[in-house]
């Protein structure tokens, strides 16, 4: 099962998206995906674009408990790396001492790591594809849906508010304070071309969005406020440029995270299975009249598998 159908969106949005110039000649395109029926905010050019998809969903927790997430507090975060040769690996974030944390895979021909050593609002993430790797990294997906830290808190990604004046001004989701969109700080290549996608939007029970700053009229005013997200995808090689994240290279970037008061609830919409097999007890009750039909249905399921 693939919890991250974001790859499907890469080709869809690449043609119509606004691209923001980043440092070192690189470009970043920011996109957010809201569930069908949740109205997209009117984003500024710097904030990127928004689209709706039935595959996206709303996640929730009782509160945003900590707005100063660190490498340590992100324990439990799921990080999936995909390589150009088709290899894919998902690792669970863990603390590595002090305020630092990360994921790292050393053996084999797909050696990579992602880490952050402090407060994510002010401290860079560092992505590395080792010189021992034999393939480019094409995509990194980070998801707070997979787990929680030792205090039972999940990790979510807080986007930049407009205007981003700090503190609680324009914080949107209550308790989140200002966030920070993914931005490139430095890298060993000078023409990274990133498509950054935020999906599976987060909300707290309160319907209020805190929009106190001037110029905030383009934000959503009721939850989900669309500044906090459970899933972040970084896709390489979306536009002109070197693109793919080659072996023996690093990328330093900034992205703010917060921690929630409890695990994330919510998930992909349930799709009814028209050939679902009844529970055994139900099946026995129906055996007289519908038993033959049930056996036919099961046979069809086996045939599809
Ligand atoms: Ca915020």
The C-alpha atoms of residue 246 and residue 191 are separated, in whole angstroms, by 12
Q: Would the pLDDT of 268 be above 80?
A: no
Report, as an integer, the average pLDDT of 143-167.
89
Distance 192 CA to ligand 1 centre (A): 27
Distance 167 CA to ligand 1 centre (A): 9
Q: Would the pLDDT of 18 be above 60?
A: no
Distance 277 CA to ligand 1 centre (A): 45
Q: Would the pLDDT of 4 be above 80?
A: no
Q: Residues within 5 Å of ion ligand 1 by Cβ?
A: 158, 171-172, 176, 179, 227
pLDDT at 35: 96
Distance 136 CA to ligand 1 centre (A): 33
Distance 173 CA to ligand 1 centre (A): 6
What pLDDT band is residue 50 in, cutting at 50, 70 and 90? very high
Q: Would the pLDDT of 296 be above 80?
A: no
What proportion of the chain, given as a percentage, has pLDDT over 90? Answer: 59
The C-alpha atoms of residue 193 and residue 179 are separated, in whole angstroms, by 22
What pLDDT band is residue 287 in, cutting at 50, 70 and 90? very low
Distance 174 CA to ligand 1 centre (A): 8
Q: Would the pLDDT of 269 be above 90?
A: no
Distance 214 CA to ligand 1 centre (A): 15
pLDDT at 163: 73
Burial class (CB in 10 A: 0-12, 13-18, 19+), 115: middle
The C-alpha atoms of residue 23 and residue 123 are separated, in whole angstroms, by 16
Distance 180 CA to ligand 1 centre (A): 8
What pLDDT band is residue 60 in, cutting at 50, 70 and 90? very high
The C-alpha atoms of residue 8 and residue 256 are separated, in whole angstroms, by 25
Distance 187 CA to ligand 1 centre (A): 27
What pLDDT band is residue 193 in, cutting at 50, 70 and 90? confident
Distance 95 CA to ligand 1 centre (A): 24
Distance 210 CA to ligand 1 centre (A): 9
Report, as an integer, the average pLDDT of 51-56.
95
- Mapping DSSP onto H, E and C, the string for the chain reads CCCCCCHHHHHHHHCCCCCEECHHHCEEEEEEEEECCCCCCCCCCCCCEEEEECCCCCEECCCEEECCCECCCCCCCEEEEEECCCCEEEEECEEEECCEEEEEECCCCCCEEEEECCECCCCCEEEEECCCCCCCEEEEEEECCCCCCCCCCCEEEECCCCCCCCCCCCCECCCCCCCCCCEEEEECCCCCEEEEEEEEEEECCCCECECCCCCHHHCCCECCCCCEEEEEEEEECCCCCCCCECCCEEEEEECCEEEECCCCECCCCCCCCCCCCCCHHHHHHHHHHHHHHHHHHHHHHHHHC
Distance of CA 56 to the CA centre of its chain: 11
What mean pLDDT is reported for the chain? 82
The C-alpha atoms of residue 87 and residue 81 are separated, in whole angstroms, by 8
Question: Comparing 46-60, 99-113, 196-210, 275-289, which segment has the lowest mean pLDDT?
Answer: 275-289
Distance 132 CA to ligand 1 centre (A): 39
pLDDT at 162: 75
Largest CA distance in the chain: 73
97-121, pLDDT tens digit by residue? 999 999 999 989 999 999 999 999 9
Distance 292 CA to ligand 1 centre (A): 56
Domain ranges (residues) in the chain: 4-260, 281-305
pTM of the model: 0.82
Distance 16 CA to ligand 1 centre (A): 26
204-260, pLDDT tens digit by residue? 999 999 887 766 777 888 999 999 999 999 998 755 445 578 899 999 999 999 999
Distance 246 CA to ligand 1 centre (A): 33
């Amino acid at each position: 099962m693939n919890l991250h159908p974001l790859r499907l969106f890469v080709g869809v949005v690449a043609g119509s998206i606004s691209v923001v110039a980043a440092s070192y000649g690189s470009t970043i395109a920011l996109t957010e995906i809201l569930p069908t029926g949740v109205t997209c905010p009117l984003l500024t050019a710097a904030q990127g674009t928004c689209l709706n998809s039935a595959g996206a969903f709303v996640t929730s927790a009782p509160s945003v408990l900590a707005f100063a997430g660190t490498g340590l507090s992100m324990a439990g975060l799921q990080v999936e790396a995909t390589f150009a040769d088709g290899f894919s690996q998902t690792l669970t974030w863990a603390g590595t001492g002090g305020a630092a944390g990360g994921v790292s895979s050393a053996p084999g021909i797909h050696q990579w790591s992602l880490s952050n050593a402090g407060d994510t609002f002010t401290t860079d993430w560092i992505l590395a594809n080792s010189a021992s790797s034999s393939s480019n990294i094409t995509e990194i997906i980070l998801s707070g849906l997979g787990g929680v830290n030792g205090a039972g808190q999940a990790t979510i990604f807080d986007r930049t508010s407009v205007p981003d004046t700090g503190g609680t001004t324009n914080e949107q989701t209550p308790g989140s304070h200002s966030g920070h969109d993914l931005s490139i700080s430095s890298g060993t290549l000078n023409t990274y071309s990133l498509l950054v996608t935020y999906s599976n939007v987060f909300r707290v029970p309160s319907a209020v969005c805190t929009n106190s700053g001037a110029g905030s009229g383009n934000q959503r005013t009721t939850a989900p406020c669309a500044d906090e997200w459970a899933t972040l995808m970084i896709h390489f090689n979306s536009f002109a440029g070197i693109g793919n994240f080659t072996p023996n290279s690093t990328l330093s970037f900034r992205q703010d995270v917060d921690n929630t008061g409890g695990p994330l609830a919510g998930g992909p919409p349930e799709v009814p299975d028209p050939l679902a097999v009844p529970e055994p007890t139900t099946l026995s009750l129906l055996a007289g009249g519908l038993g033959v039909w049930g056996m036919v249905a099961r046979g069809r399921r086996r045939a599809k598998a």
